[in-house]
Amino acid sequence: MRKIIIAILLTLTLSLLAITPIILQKGTTRFLYAQECLENLSPSDYDTVKVYANVDGDTIKVIWKGGIEYVRLIGVDTPETVHPRKPVEYFGKAASLFTKLMLPPNEEIRLTYDWNPRDKYNRLLAYVWFKVKYQGKEYWILHNLALILNGFGHAYTVFYFRDDYRKIFLEAERFAREHNIGLWSYEVEKKVLEKLEKGEPFFEMSILEEKTEQKEEKTYNVNIVYIKATGRDEYIVIKNTGTEPVNLAGWKIFSEGGQWYTFPSVVLEPGESISVHSGPEASGALIWTRRYVWNNREDKAVLYNANGDVVDVYEY
């Protein structure tokens, strides 16, 4: 396989991080996609393959060069359904069905890649694209993104991948969470499975009717600079690296384990740092929880401002 980095014939700007939802249809299944991505993302330097079978939400089998290959989707993690040491996880069946509907057997799809062609299990690592028609034109849809935007998976940033896609995937996850889509919704998985099988919308149609308010554009020079993940007093350090004070009221920290912390009204002066503690012996002015938050070996923290925009991502 060619070891390549995707060359997209466009410049992705911050404006691409806005999500303007539209409804697309594949077969009888209606799903959400971002207008900005429909118009600006398409596969380049790709391999054309045929779908052989669905494994689960984020893994498929394809026919490639006369053989059968496993393909693990980059940058997305869906709940488990076939893990040998884990039970079937909540929304795993729905994620698997969504992928099966979008990528049915014998369909011709396109694969694009990052710099690592395979993982330690020898699976191909790829961005997977399928075709739909919208308003009389054909477009290539990035399935990795569609999974996240429709609430069937998380943005998976433990392993590094394209920075522009990483930002889009994180924004898609935020959108799905804020609009209660898929695994972020109040509906049980059984209901979503029924709607997928019947071709009914599994999301609220009112999402399309919301008027997008113009937010004041601000550049926050606030960063996560360190996470102490060992010991009985863990902590994460946030620093204002800019020249203006920033009030962190309403800002949030998200850990990959699913925990959230919301800041009270705290003004962070230029050059000043603040730490948020967790663990049985958590100390300091800001206590997240008396339980452990951070994984000792590897984890991810995402910092959001009060508008819900991603400000910084820290991984170790």
Which 8-state DSSP code applies to residue 285? Answer: S
Residues of each domain in the chain carrying CATH 2.40.50.90: 14-209
Q: What is the pLDDT of residues 86-135, one digit of tens each?
A: 788 889 999 999 999 999 999 999 999 998 889 999 999 999 999 999 98
Marked catalytic residue, from 36, 69, 72, 256: 72
**pLDDT the model gives residue 184:** 87
**pLDDT the model gives residue 134:** 92
Q: What is the pLDDT of residues 209-265, one digit of tens each?
A: 654 444 444 556 899 999 999 999 999 999 999 888 999 988 999 888 778 899 998
Bigger pLDDT: 310 vs 52: 52
In whole angstroms, what is the distance from residue 262 CA to residue 276 CA? Answer: 10
- Our CA angle for 229, 231, 233, nearest 5°, is 85
- Extract long-range pairs of 186-192: CB within 8 Å, 24+ residues apart: 189/90, 189/91, 189/93, 189/94, 192/91, 192/94
Q: Which CATH class is domain 14-209?
A: mainly beta
Bigger pLDDT: 273 vs 250: 273
Bigger pLDDT: 161 vs 5: 161
**pLDDT the model gives residue 17:** 61
pLDDT (mean) for 297-304: 89
Q: Would you identify the CATH topology of the domain 222-315?
A: Immunoglobulin-like (2.60.40)
Residues of each domain in the chain carrying CATH 2.60.40.1260: 222-315
**pLDDT the model gives residue 215:** 41
In whole angstroms, what is the distance from residue 172 CA to residue 149 CA? Answer: 5
Q: In the annotation, is 232 catalytic?
A: no
> Per-residue pLDDT for 61 more than 60?
yes
Marked catalytic residue, from 36, 69, 80, 189: 80
What's the gap between Cα 149 and its chain centre? 8
Q: How far apart are the first and last CA of the chain?
A: 30
Q: In the annotation, is 123 catalytic?
A: yes
Residues pairing with 161 in the sheet: none
Distances from the Cα of 50 to the Cαs of 32, 104, 287, in angstroms? 24, 9, 52
Q: What is the pLDDT of residues 177-189, one digit of tens each?
A: 888 899 888 778 8
Q: In the annotation, is 30 catalytic?
A: no
Marked catalytic residue, from 36, 69, 110, 123: 123
In three-state secondary structure terms, 160 is coil
